[in-house]
Amino acid sequence: MGNQRESVHGMWSSRAVFVMATIGSAVGLGNIWKFPYITGEYGGGAFVLVYLLCIALIGIPIMMAEVLLGRRGRASPISTMKRLAREEGASAAWSLVGYAGVVAGFLILSFYSVVAGWALAYVFQSAGGGLNGITAAGSASVFGDLVGSPDQLVVWHTVFILMTTAVVARGVRHGLERAVSVLMPALFVMLLIMVGYAYVEGDFARGFNFLFEVNFSRVFQVCSGEGAQIACRVSGEPLLVAMGHAFFTLSLGMGAIMAYGAYVPDHASITGATITIAVADTLVALLAGLAIFPIVFASGLEPGAGPGLIFQTLPVAFGNMPGGHLFGTVFFVLLVFAAWSSSISLVEPAVAWLVEVRRWSRVTAAFLVGALAWLLGIGSALSFNVWSGPEYQVLGKTLFDLKDFVASNIMLPLGGLLIALFVAYGAGRHMALEELSISRQRLFDAWWFVIRYVSPVGIAIVFLNSVGVL
């Protein structure tokens, strides 16, 4: 490899730690909260198969591109893109990719922390017996009381931001590395415990069939209504949802993967590590489905219950099943751990840039970024109560929804698209060859074709659909 730079922030102690940290970044609320409910909404197994194809054709190639840029630049995403654009003789405007990623991650944290705060609140609700024997109406009331209370939401949002900032402030080795070395094994253990519980107490056969039985006709349908009133229409929406989720679940386009790539040892295989990360991320999503759907079916609940599946539907199931008090608590701790491991990767790019450019200590930079995210997150928390009215909305969206839309539907896909275009067209082929070190030329040529043509087209479709053009 022709590049021997060292990161001023330190390095991961091994390839295994990098893989674990990046899995932590990828595995988050999207895997355990969002994936099960969109799978339920769009028909189960066939949707899962399409999602897996999108991971292979969009997620893995873009992740490889983002990691190789990070390792090549050995700095924050902003500094990396400036440096590589200059070295490759490309336009200085490519540095905007780094800025956009950092801003997107910052925006996401400012509303992600509010949802993570819900999970924290539910840990104590479940552990304290507040969900025991709860009815559907009672569950809706508990959730409504939580999101309707600005004081509660701000408190839990504050706790989660402090948890995140404290890890990042301690640096790569003593903060990020130690945190993921505990969080990720614990997350997998808890997830396996939940799958075991679902196998014993849930309708596991029905949940398994729902998740893996393939019926392609359902991929092209969107259904609404209940019972005899249910109606379905032909639509490409499920395909676009699968493509979008495959992209977003791997934390692409927000600078996190590029920042983590800057700390990868020179001898580590980017290709092997990326495939391992994508497989692990997908495995967590599938295990979450196996933990959730058997419990949902055994309780006579709807798998397509939408975003309320975790915070309104599942508490009813846990509250009325043997051992539900304990396992409900474990589940919400699992949700907190998943959110925590992702949130530290959202803070890292901005902190790394402040350390490089302003020469601040990591503690100062981390707490400044955390404070700004906390302040912006106050608006997200108030979006569910005192600022929920139309007079506080922009384009018909609350501040929470607006930030989610701008970051997830515009900034992330554009960031991922520009990363692919820079690697494939802005930089030289030599850079990818040196960093990836793929021994088999045919494998490199296949990746090169995908990153030049397939991935950009796929991302462009997702982006155009998200902004209403398609």
Mean pLDDT over residues 109-128, rounded? 94
HSE at residue 443, side-chain half, CA atoms within 13 A, is: 8
Q: Any residues with CB less than 8 A from the CB of 267 and at least 6 apart, and which?
A: 15
pLDDT at 266 over 80: yes
Model confidence at 4, pLDDT cuts 50, 70, 90, reads low
User: What is the C-alpha separation between 69 and 252, in angstroms, rounded?
Assistant: 13
pLDDT at 401 over 80: yes
Which residues pair with residue 231 across a beta bridge? 224
pLDDT at 415 over 60: yes
Task: Check residue 206 and give left, alpha or beta (phi > 0: left; psi -120 to 50: alpha).
Answer: alpha
pTM, two decimals, is 0.90
User: What is the C-alpha separation between 98 and 254, in angstroms, rounded?
Assistant: 8
CA angle at residue 129 from 123 to 132, to 5 degrees? 110
pLDDT digits (tens, 9 = 90+) for 151-177: 999 999 999 999 999 999 999 888 999
Q: Any residues with CB less than 8 A from the CB of 375 and at least 6 apart, and which?
A: none
pLDDT at 351 over 60: yes
Which pair of tokens denotes residue 220? 């092209």
- State the DSSP code for 275: H
pLDDT of residue 34: 82
Mean pLDDT over residues 28-48, rounded? 83
Which residues pair with residue 233 across a beta bridge? 222
Mean pLDDT over residues 384-403, rounded? 92
Which residues pair with residue 397 across a beta bridge? 394
pLDDT digits (tens, 9 = 90+) for 194-237: 999 999 999 999 999 988 887 766 665 556 655 555 556 556 67
User: What is the C-alpha separation between 452 and 278, in angstroms, rounded?
Assistant: 20
HSE at residue 9, side-chain half, CA atoms within 13 A, is: 38
pLDDT of residue 6: 79
Amino acid identity of 36?
P
15-466: CATH class = mainly alpha
Is the CB of residue 351 less than 8 Å from the CB of residue 365? yes
CA angle at residue 260 from 254 to 261, to 5 degrees? 100
pLDDT of residue 1: 46
pLDDT of residue 168: 95
Across the chain, mean pLDDT equals 89
Residue (of 172, 158, 166) closest to 259 by Cα position: 172
Is the CB of residue 198 less than 8 Å from the CB of residue 207? yes
Is the CB of residue 268 less than 8 Å from the CB of residue 80? no
Mean pLDDT over residues 17-33, rounded? 89
pLDDT of residue 219: 60
pLDDT at 88 over 80: yes
Q: How do 221-224 and 231-234 pair as beta strands?
A: antiparallel
- State the DSSP code for 28: S
Q: What φ, ψ does residue 388 adopt, rounded to 5°? A: -85, -15
User: What is the C-alpha separation between 206 and 92, in angstroms, rounded?
Assistant: 55
**Percent of the chain with pLDDT strictly greater than 70:** 94
Mean pLDDT over residues 104-123, rounded? 93
pLDDT of residue 296: 87
Is the CB of residue 177 less than 8 Å from the CB of residue 13? yes
